Structure 1
Amino acid sequence: MQYQQQFTPIADNLGLSALIALIPILFFFWALAIKRMKGYKAGLWTLGISLVLSAIAYKMPVSLSLLSASQGAVYGLLPIGWIIITSVFLYKLTVKTGHFDIIRDSVLSITEDRRLQALLVAFSFGAFLEGAAGFGAPVAISAALLVGLGFNPLYAAGLCLIANTAPVAFGAVGIPIIAVEGPTGIPAMEVSKMVGRQLPFLSAFIPFYLVVMMAGFKRALEVLPPILVSGLSFAITQYLSSNFLGPELPDILSALVSLFALAVFLKFWKPKTIFRFKHEEQEAQSGTVAKHSAGAIFKAWSPFLVLTAFISVWGIPVLKSALTGHYEGTNSILKAINYVGSQLTFAPEVPFLHNQIFDGSGEALPAIYKLEILGAAGTAILIAAIVSKFIVKISWKEWFKTLAETTNELKFPIVTIASVVAFAYVTNASGMTTTLGLVVAKTGSWFPFFSPFLGWLGVFITGSDTSANLLFGNLQKVTAESVGMDPLLAVGANSSGGVTGKMISPQSIAVACGAVGLAGKESDLFRFTVKHSFVLVIIVGIITFLQSNVLSWMVP
């Protein structure tokens, strides 16, 4: 049974069709922001509504809708669900063995100020993990670290989601930028340059924005020097690396420079007053931090150092190809890894769906269950947890018990993730997402301002800047050419705007809640982040509009 995608199925009217396509998204907003529905219930209901609309309004065969949903659900489990389980598991190992107490003290020895801890962990360390792995690992790990330091779980998750805005476009070793070259034909290096002339403005602003959120404008001004060190060091490095090195390293280099610069700066500069949360101010403050030897601190941090090493190695392109069984070189070690990877990589066609859906240009769309077990970032984290077992000296019995406890605690977030990714696949396969994209493309002379909103919409639906670039990249290029906008600017804006949608993507919300023990509280986190998402995408829209007009000299 075949299906030709339709973009104006309601009376051949784009506006009416878009209203229908908006229904699942509006329902999801309502379910979380107003109804305060549990995440997994909102996800399942949204999936159900999208299935009904795809069949009734878009005339998509029910069997193909269900198969598309199954493809999305599988992707939600691997790699995304796998990452959150292993990330939280590794964190719990350090807590259970008491090593996280030492980690907490080591961070407190740099600064006891909650504002500055958020910059170190949520902004800089989270950006490094985004550059190395992506797919939810940065938010899961950095949010868990903040909770361990004493942050309120909701605050920790929200701060990490918003901080993750700066690095998303260059995440997972630049995959979002590299991927968009395919559908647009624009060299990845040129897109990297364009995004590198937009995002640094946001990256420099995010640290200040985070602290204002936490403590208010006046308390943010108290720590303006370290805020500037954190944001400007990140932004300048992001610009330089994206424009002169390419899309692979901006996140990793920017994060390391920012982390090191801020840590060194705080050795010589201290805030006049230490900011703590209200509930902490009511408690007696001893003013002292437990001292630990350098060896004890190194040992306590070792699980996360091992994690960083494995995630970084897993992200190396040539090794990634071997881990997934796609290496074609002659290196004997990589060939051996490639053999193992090929045995643990499965890519069966989705039966009765593969090449049965045709896009607007008449091309058949492949449908594959992509199961890269060895190459998944979650596997790298699991191996780090195995190595860490010997570092923190926990028995195998307790190790497996902790893994089982973690998996049980995360069952509802995993259901949420699987259902919302399934929803994304159904809306993409039916053509609903493209219908919404076509509406934005109709904004004419205002398209430069609304161009980033396409990326925002794509990331909100798919949870991935890479997917949003693949989905809307060519539409951005074609529309830009028709309205007199530079196509490179439009394609870059898709990725830059997309980063602001990550914090409200159902996938990201579910991952963050699962990591900090807020399963079932997804609505609270969504309400926390949604206003910031709108503010930031409007800022990107203004930047893009200016670059299309008075600042056109900034376009490569």
Structure 2
Amino acid sequence: MQSVSPSLALAWSGPPLTAPYMALASLPIVVLLTLIMGCRWSAPKAGAAACLVTTALACAGFGESARGLAISSTKGLSLSLFVLSVIWSAVLLYNIVEGLGGIRIIGRTMGRLVGDPLAQALVVGWAFAGFMQGVAGFGVPVAVVAPLLVLMGFGAAQAAAIVLIGHAWSVTFGSLGSSYYTIQLVTGIHGDVIAPRMAALFALPIVASGFAVAHVQGGLAALRRGTWAILLMGGAMALAMWLTARFGMPQLASVIPGLVGCCIGWLASRLGLFGRGSKRAPDPTGTRVLEIGGGSQTAAAPAERSFHLAFLPYYVLIGLSLLSQWPALRAIKAGWGLDYPGLRTGLGFSVEPQKRYAAIELLRHPAPLILFGILLSYAIYRLSDRWKPRLFTGALRTTYAQCISTSVGICTMVMMAVIMTDTGMTALLGRAIAAGAGSAFAVFSPYIGVLGTFMTGSNTNSNVMFGALQLESARALAIDTVAVASVQSIGGALGSAIAPTKVLVGTAVVGLSGREGEVMKRTIPYCMALALLVGVQIAILLKL
């Protein structure tokens, strides 16, 4: 059997570059795709099946020993724990704030900032949705913000589409950085290198997603009258993302830009940068019914000071994140991590030893910082007599219910991905993709990320599945690996606008259950266009 490209065989030590081995290497991904999209299995169930297939192939076809398989599987669990600890702590913090009524107060405050429909779509559906993705993820922005837009007078399908498109820019650094940390770890690129590069590459999709939201809200007329406001908001959000990532706080690189966008949007509205548009009268009673999380709640408009009390845990978290950048604290390396020996398969593929692999550092990893923030917030709320009895245990139960399925899915998919990487399957597929795509690979690359999120509903899972694959493809083509790894996660973030799991959340909270296709028809063209824009951008940058 002939190899696909003799030039790609140079300096290659591992599985043979032949069609049978490429077919075997692609089988785990084919199984996962088929089970999720064809058989409609859940991500945990499909991930477990694909992991079993990968394990069997590693031993039977790619020369992996039982010892090597055990090491790769344990590495997968270490990486899973690194990512899941961020997700668990972020969702726990959100549930505590929600249990105190803070999310409703924050949402209503943001909604009252502006009265113009276009400004509302951008401030609430674009900037505030990004902030909510930053602190929680898991479909929370869609569940919280879509009903707010409906209450402001937007159509149900329109509201769901605005939030799905509007929050996508914030997904990679969302959930306090879970997807970002995944792509950083599976590619092995140091955080100080990939974080600012990725944030810089996000600038164009951030601004473009603002124009997409405006077009959903009011067509070409909204684009014309909102151009300067969108450029101002988007530019400020992009700059805030880059600065946050550049100064070592990627866990806040969606939270802070989202807040900046809300403030700039409010200022733009006050300055008349949205032009002349219709204004809706404010709610005369100061009371609104919010349908968030499946229930209806009526609450009076809070005083301004209530917003700051509601936002207190996030103030604390931002403060702790800034404090953790103090050189004396950055020098502290206390934490937990395991060392793994190097590996060599029977087919000659080698893996370097790993020191403190996926280490959870006490003052650098987001999870400990979030937990410290929860403790400080608890102390402040308790001293001010604002803590509710049994709130913490209730938040823990809710977090467990929300996270257990996703956690199982992430563990199985991460183990599958690490086994594929350590046996040379991923490197083999990367070289095959490089041979097939050639110079068009850069344009094609973001769509791989989109596909991963569409399949699994998660940018994190997309990065697990395809991050190392994209890296190996870039290496085979001798192009910028940092840029390609960044584009993988950017594409995965944009794919959140069309992920069926998130669309289901959006339709459910606005009363459109069973009409998911109506929403997806609105979001798919924007998602595909944004991914193309990212692909063209990276293709141009790689040629400069």
* TM-score (norm. length: structure 1): 0.67
Q: Which runs of 5+ in 2 are unaligned?
A: 1-10, 151-155, 282-288, 292-297
- In structure 1, give the amino acid aligned to 2:360: E
Q: For 1:144-193, what per-residue CA distance to the aligned partner results, in whole angstroms no more than 9, with x for missing partners?
A: 7537857899879845762226868x979998999999879xx959x967
Q: Which runs of 5+ in 1 are unaligned?
A: 130-136, 283-287, 327-341, 481-486
Structure 1: how far apart are the matches of 2:434 and 2:493? 21
Q: 1:238 to 1:412 in 2, by over 3 A?
A: closer
Is 1:200 aligned with 2:203? yes
What is aligned with 2:336? 346
Selected match of 2:417 from 403, 411, 424:
424
What is aligned with 1:329? none
Structure 2: how far apart are the matches of 1:166 and 1:410? 18
What is aligned with 1:292? 302
Q: 1:175 to 1:19 in 2, by over 3 A?
A: same
Q: CA deviation at 1:92?
A: 2.1
What is aligned with 2:369? 380
Contact 1:173 1:248 in 2 (8 A): no
Structure 2: how far apart are the matches of 1:122 and 1:47? 34
Selected match of 2:427 from 434, 454, 459:
434
What is aligned with 2:343? 356
Q: Secondary structure at the match of 1:53?
A: helix
Structure 2: how far apart are the matches of 1:89 and 1:41? 25
Q: 1:32 to 1:274 in 2, by over 3 A?
A: farther
Cα RMSD (Å) of the superposition? 5.2
What is aligned with 1:319? 329
What is aligned with 1:89? 92
What is aligned with 1:146? 145
Q: 1:145 to 1:321 in 2, by over 3 A?
A: farther
Is 1:162 aligned with 2:168? yes
What is aligned with 2:533? 539
Structure 1: how far apart are the matches of 2:230 and 2:173? 17
Selected match of 1:476 from 474, 477, 480:
474
Q: CA deviation at 1:438?
A: 0.6
Q: Secondary structure at the match of 2:311?
A: helix
Q: CA deviation at 1:305?
A: 1.9
Structure 2: how far apart are the matches of 1:421 and 1:164? 22
- In structure 2, give the amino acid aligned to 1:476: A
What is aligned with 2:232? 229
Q: For 1:488-514, what per-residue CA distance to the aligned partner results, in whole angstroms no more than 9, with x for missing partners?
A: 5x6424423442124559xx9999999
Q: Secondary structure at the match of 1:372?
A: strand
Is 1:105 aligned with 2:104? no
Contact 2:426 2:472 in 1 (8 A): no
Structure 2: how far apart are the matches of 1:431 and 1:470? 11
What is aligned with 1:496? 487
Percent identity, please: 18
Name whichever of 400-409 and 443-452 sits farther off.
443-452
Structure 1: how far apart are the matches of 2:203 and 2:18? 36
Structure 2: how far apart are the matches of 1:176 and 1:317? 25
Contact 1:14 1:435 in 2 (8 A): no
Q: Secondary structure at the match of 1:436?
A: helix
What is aligned with 1:75? 79
Q: 1:93 to 1:61 in 2, by over 3 A?
A: same
Q: For 1:425-480, what per-residue CA distance to the aligned partner results, in whole angstroms no more than 9, with x for missing partners?
A: 12211222111211222144445544666887999997587997777657635623
Q: Secondary structure at the match of 1:272?
A: coil
Name whichever of 411-420 and 266-275 sits farther off.
266-275
Structure 1: how far apart are the matches of 2:102 and 2:351? 54
Structure 1: how far apart are the matches of 2:412 and 2:184? 28
Q: Secondary structure at the match of 2:278?
A: coil
Q: CA deviation at 1:106?
A: 0.9
Structure 2: how far apart are the matches of 1:432 and 1:18? 8
Contact 1:31 1:42 in 2 (8 A): yes
What is aligned with 1:132? none
Structure 2: how far apart are the matches of 1:181 and 1:71? 14
Structure 2: how far apart are the matches of 1:316 and 1:456? 37
* TM-score (norm. length: structure 2): 0.68
- In structure 2, give the amino acid aligned to 1:385: I
Q: For 1:171-219, what per-residue CA distance to the aligned partner results, in whole angstroms no more than 9, with x for missing partners?
A: 79998999999879xx959x967x677543322212223455x657468
What is aligned with 1:36? 40
What is aligned with 2:294? none
Q: Secondary structure at the match of 1:348?
A: strand
Q: Secondary structure at the match of 1:346?
A: strand
Q: 1:494 to 1:182 in 2, by over 3 A?
A: closer
Selected match of 1:272 from 266, 274, 278:
278
- In structure 2, give the amino acid aligned to 1:56: A
Q: CA deviation at 1:231?
A: 2.2
What is aligned with 1:22? 26
Selected match of 2:64 from 60, 67, 82:
60
Contact 1:144 1:515 in 2 (8 A): yes
Structure 1: how far apart are the matches of 2:528 and 2:140? 25
Q: CA deviation at 1:79?
A: 2.7
Q: CA deviation at 1:414?
A: 1.7
Selected match of 1:49 from 43, 47, 53:
53
Contact 1:88 1:140 in 2 (8 A): no
What is aligned with 2:7? none
- In structure 2, give the amino acid aligned to 1:479: L
- In structure 2, give the amino acid aligned to 1:356: L
Structure 2: how far apart are the matches of 1:87 and 1:238? 19
Q: CA deviation at 1:45?
A: 1.9
Is 1:122 aligned with 2:129? yes
